[in-house]
Amino acid sequence: MKLVVINPNTTDEMTAVIATAARSVAPSGAEVVAVTSSMGPASIESHYDEALAVPGVLDAIAAHPDADGYLLACFGDPGLDAARELAAAPVLGIAEAAMHLAAPLGRGFSVVTTLSRTIGRAHDLVGHYGFGRQCLGIHACEIPVLELESRPDTADVLAKACAEALVADGSDAIVLGCAGMADLARRMSAEIGAPVIDGVAAGVGMLAAMAAMGLRTGTSSGEFARPPAKTYSGVLGGFGLGGGMPSRSSDQH
């Protein structure tokens, strides 16, 4: 079983965090390939960043065509529908995966994310995936993505935000709203005494289950069939599917 975990931003250090989290829960025998995006933003903290992270996500999928599952390791789940058209194997976003595992763990969960300007996107995803009843609140700890690893007080600030969310929302679980928090889930859980779900681990677990069951994205409605071939131009000229999409540099860890 080969699972490809894609960091949609271009920061290798964050890919390393993600890779460790993914491997810590992968079933024995599963290979986890962690990929850093080859283009776009160094971190994703706006709709603008997220939109421009999508080409790198699609490029990474095209560069690793033989996986049994793909995980998009950014809480905005950038390019998820496009990725499903492109990939032969199932694709999950970490927001999606985290919510699917959090929902059965109690009455409802709270999301704790990085900057408050990303709350809107999280709210849209909650609605789209169908967790409007279970998601009881979305909160920001106001630490920028790339400072999560470097700031000495990250764990303290995040634990405080998680504990406060639990009380404010009356929730039973916390969903971490950024792939850069993946290494903190167990520590947060121990500190607040409640389940804390990291989407990277959740996504690996769900993809492993799908792979064991032999499941792939369905194409019978036609929506997720391979996209029609056509001409692409400009700096995105290489994305035209007709003549085969050339891969660009893709770091593997």
Assign residue 193 a region: left if phi > 0, alpha if psi is -120 to 50, beta otherwise?
A: left
Which residues in 147-166 contact a copy of itself (CB under 8 A)? 166
In the block, residue with structure tokens 């997720």: 224
> Quick one: which of 20, 154, 217, 247 contacts a copy of itself (CB under 8 A)?
217
Told to check if 100 binds a copy of itself by CB under 8 A, we report: yes
Which residues in 48-87 contact a copy of itself (CB under 8 A)? 48-52, 54-56, 58, 79, 81-82, 84-86
Told to check if 224 binds a copy of itself by CB under 8 A, we report: yes
Which residues in 121-150 contact a copy of itself (CB under 8 A)? 121, 123-124, 127-134, 144
Q: Are 195 and 105 in contact (CB under 8 A)?
A: yes
Round to whole Å and give the CA distance between 208 and 72: 15
The residue ranges of DSSP E strands in 107-153, in sequence order, are 109-113, 135-140
Instruction: Look up residue 29 and give its two tokens.
Output: 């025998």
- Count of residues of this chain found to bind a copy of itself when the rule CB under 8 A is applied: 109
- Encoded one letter per residue, x for contact with a copy of itself by CB under 8 A and - for no contact, window 169-208 reads -xxxx-----------xx--x---xxx-xx--xx-xxx-x
Instruction: Look up residue 107 and give its two tokens.
Output: 């009455």
- Neighbouring CB atoms inside 10 A of 61's CB total 28
Minimal distance, residue 25 CB to a copy of itself, in Å: 4
